[in-house]
Chains A and B, each alone.
Chain A
Amino acid sequence: MFIAGVIIGGFISSHYLTPDMSVAISPATVADLSAIGIANPGSSYLPEEIFGSENVWSLRSLVFLLGGGFLVGFGTRYANGCTSGHAISGLSNLQWWSLIAVVGFFIGGLMMTHFGLPYLISL
């Protein structure tokens, strides 16, 4: 029921509550993402050329969706928690092992952002 609500909430938000879909990201991020081949960073919630339904069966989109999703699912089970479980609930509960997991989140995220994404976007 909660998950059904979450999907409905996303739908309500995009269809009725957000007339302007642009995201005001920092100019530095716009410059960095333009440099690795993203068109018009920040003009919508996410890059249409990767996540738009018209390109979904391209190799790049499948790697981002299926491959990225696979790592998220595997890592969440392995570390026993995700952003909400460890970073928010875990740190709020002052849990040492959650802090270690959050350090891991950033090790992985920084490696992918700086070494993996430029290659994956060029697929």
Chain B
Amino acid sequence: MKYVRFLIMGILFGIVLSKGEIISWYRIQEMFRFQSFHMFGVIGSAIVFGIITIQFIKRTKLKDYNGNLITVSTQEPGYARNLIGGTIFGLGWAITGACPGPLFILVGHEGWVFLLAILGAVAGTFTYGVFEKYLAH
């Protein structure tokens, strides 16, 4: 029962991103053409709310369900890794019209076809693992 909370959060996440049209290929195209405020408004308001939430978590020393202190940092330093890795991600984002989270939402929304995109993504992460030691970071 402890894990039901993750299921509920996932369902809410899936519904909110679907209804916000974040999973729409067209919305991503519109964003990369700078032709609407829609995606910038969604991401921008998420950042504003995120700043407030993270400050709240840090100042109240909020703990997770296991009782561990919540830490947020995901970054790894390095211009090559972030700029080249980010560019490769962006190339893919403009093709699929979806980043990793929405790929799973799209399986529920559109159907099994998007399992192929997830298969491609898993192949991509695997390939990175194989070539990691040869890449600039």
Contacts and interface: CB of A to CB of B under 8 A. Distances in A.
Between A47, A72, A96, the greatest number of chain B beta carbons within 10 A of the residue's beta carbon is seen for A72
A25 B30 contact: yes
B47 A9 contact: no
A54 B96 CA distance: 17
B108 A8 contact: yes
12 contacts: A9-B10, A25-B27, A29-B36, A46-B97, A71-B89, A72-B98, A73-B125, A101-B89, A105-B93, A106-B32, A108-B88, A111-B87
B95 A111 contact: no
A12 B15 contact: yes
A104 B14 contact: no
A3 to B, nearest CB: 5
Given A72-B92, A92-B47, A116-B95, 8 more contacts: A46-B26, A69-B116, A75-B92, A80-B75, A80-B85, A82-B99, A105-B86, A110-B90
Prevailing SS type, chain B contact patch:
helix
A45 B90 contact: no
Prevailing SS type, chain A contact patch:
helix
Nearest to A10: B108
A123 B100 CA distance: 25
B62 interface: no
B116 A62 contact: yes
A100 interface: yes
Nearest to A107: B87
B124 A28 contact: no
Contacts of B69: none
B117 to A, nearest CB: 4
Given A69-B119, A100-B83, A5 B14 contact: yes
Contacts of B16: 9
Given A26-B35, A69-B116, A74-B88, A88 B110 contact: no
A23 B95 CA distance: 18
Given A25-B36, A70-B120, A78-B88, A6 B24 contact: no
